[in-house]
Chains A and B, each alone.
Chain A
């Protein structure tokens, strides 16, 4: 291994791997069945629809990728995302149906939103305001809509993910993401789901909750406030589950979960499921007064 070259491999997961892993997790903890199935079903839709999205690099390449990384800028700016709104409509409707199956009476207002309120014009505006973080515009668009903000955000997050996968996949292959001191994704700027410590060299790798990009992050740094004050950093673990750690930051009072001692191939580690399967550690950290700093795969 050359100095500075961590040879970071991006995740490589597919429908059958996710299904197999979900079964394994559910066998260990049957309470996971519902939420693991929800992830599996959403992933299945995302994966299928992603095949309709062209696998092409956004407008940046080579030197621009390196200079943006060095300057701490995200590689994929919202205005550089190409969203085919007809494909987006398909994915949001299909995922909406997956969510709506959770209840017959539509208590979330999802059915009504998808059937009566959402058209291509609204979808386009929602996507644009969501991507650019235009809160006022987004707020106006949400006025009078039946669906709850949390669920709409979930829908947007998971429906845009396949577009991000495609764009980020091309960029991540060209960028050196072995050691990036950023707690948000260097490609799309979103928060991580959780991380893992690579068995071969102890590198801490985080995975983006939206585009799935993995990046190496310093071990002795908080991903959320970026402090390197070692007196403020610690971790907890459960004696019954030594394969996971929860890194705590005394400064910002946030935590991040990390898998360690994973013996399989890193590329096949399904962190969204790991995150769900380690919910007991979320509870333990929250009981100690720390707040979750990561997103979930759902938003």
Chain B
């Protein structure tokens, strides 16, 4: 790299050392090991442990679309790189011969599971939610209060409550997902809304 004297401070970043060494006869190829390199590429992504309510972060290493490594994330102020024994095992959530990769359905009264597609499963789940909600929805209810003389007074009030479905959030959900999930549940009228982080 040829540099003018007036501009070289501007360029005094990363390349200068390599250029100076080259002037002394040490070009990078001159001292690089003569090895046939099989270069592999990998990506690291962060994730949140799905088990307990702590919300520890981990780094997942992926090569060729397959998870090959998992370690605690040092950048996380929650766990500062450490993972408990259960957290260290979350790689098995993905790499596990027993992992379910297709929807399995067991009909009422049946003993065997049958494979279904998501195209079949999602409308069926929606149907069940709707039917259960409609069957267990409480539009109004009677409450009892006291009048000025102390006698019981029964009043019909609006409830709009679904008592047949409960929702449980998990630690793998982030803030925004929890917001959407709870919004959806409240829109259905659910009142049994819980999250693992409260346990």
A binds B: yes
Q: Which residues of A contact B (CB under 8 A)?
A: 1, 3-4, 6, 28-29, 31-32, 34-35, 38, 99, 102, 108, 130, 133, 135-136, 138-139, 142-143, 145, 148-151, 153-154, 157, 179, 191, 201-204, 209, 216, 218-221, 230, 233-241, 254, 276-277, 279-280, 282-284, 291-299
> In whole angstroms, how far apart are the Cα atoms of A34 and B35 in the complex?
19
B26: chain A residues within 8 A (beta carbon): 34-35, 38
Interface size on B, residues (CB 8 A): 52
Q: Is the beta-carbon distance between A240 and B35 smaller than 8 angstroms? A: yes
Identify the stretch in B16-24, B95-103, B161-169, B181-189 within 8 Å (CB) of chain A at 4 or more residues.
B16-24
A153: chain B residues within 8 A (beta carbon): 8, 12, 16, 20
Q: Is the beta-carbon distance between B77 and A3 smaller than 8 angstroms? A: yes
Which 5 A-B pairs give the minimum distances between C-beta atoms? A296-B17, A139-B6, A279-B32, A142-B5, A201-B81
B35: chain A residues within 8 A (beta carbon): 238, 240-241, 280
> In whole angstroms, how far apart are the Cα atoms of A218 and B80 in the complex?
11
Q: List 5 A-B contacts (CB under 8 A).
A: A4-B77, A29-B33, A108-B23, A235-B41, A239-B40
Residue of A130, A150, A218, A292 touching B3 (CB-CB under 8 A): A150
Q: A3-B77, A216-B74, A293-B14 are in contact. Are A284 and B39 (CB under 8 A)?
A: yes
A277: chain B residues within 8 A (beta carbon): 33
Q: Is the beta-carbon distance between B16 and A201 smaller than 8 angstroms? A: no
* B46 contacts chain A at the CB level, 8 A cutoff: yes
Residue of B17, B24, B38, B77 touching A295 (CB-CB under 8 A): B17
A276: chain B residues within 8 A (beta carbon): 31
Q: Is the beta-carbon distance between B20 and A201 smaller than 8 angstroms? A: no
Residue of B8, B9, B16, B33 touching A280 (CB-CB under 8 A): B33
B166 to chain A, nearest CB (A): 35
Q: A139-B9, A230-B44 are in contact. Are A150 and B28 (CB under 8 A)?
A: no
Residue of A203, A216, A236, A295 touching B13 (CB-CB under 8 A): A295
B33: chain A residues within 8 A (beta carbon): 28-29, 31-32, 277, 279-280
Q: A148-B23, A153-B12 are in contact. Are A203 and B17 (CB under 8 A)?
A: no
* B42 contacts chain A at the CB level, 8 A cutoff: yes
Q: Is the beta-carbon distance between A236 and B17 smaller than 8 angstroms? A: no
Q: Is the beta-carbon distance between B28 and A219 smaller than 8 angstroms? A: no
Q: Is the beta-carbon distance between B25 and A295 smaller than 8 angstroms? A: no
B20 to chain A, nearest CB (A): 4
A40 to chain B, nearest CB (A): 14
B73: chain A residues within 8 A (beta carbon): 202, 219-220
Q: A28-B33, A202-B81, A279-B32 are in contact. Are A219 and B75 (CB under 8 A)?
A: yes
B82: chain A residues within 8 A (beta carbon): 1, 201
Residue of A34, A233, A254 touching B44 (CB-CB under 8 A): A233
* B154 contacts chain A at the CB level, 8 A cutoff: no
> In whole angstroms, how far apart are the Cα atoms of A299 and B3 in the complex?
15
Q: Is the beta-carbon distance between A150 and B16 smaller than 8 angstroms? A: yes
> In whole angstroms, how far apart are the Cα atoms of A291 and B4 in the complex?
21
Q: Is the beta-carbon distance between B14 and A294 smaller than 8 angstroms? A: yes
> In whole angstroms, how far apart are the Cα atoms of A277 and B39 in the complex?
17
Minimal Cβ-Cβ distance residue in A for B43: A234
* B108 contacts chain A at the CB level, 8 A cutoff: no
* B29 contacts chain A at the CB level, 8 A cutoff: yes
Q: A3-B77, A179-B75, A236-B40 are in contact. Are A34 and B25 (CB under 8 A)?
A: yes
> In whole angstroms, how far apart are the Cα atoms of A237 and B39 in the complex?
6
A182 to chain B, nearest CB (A): 14
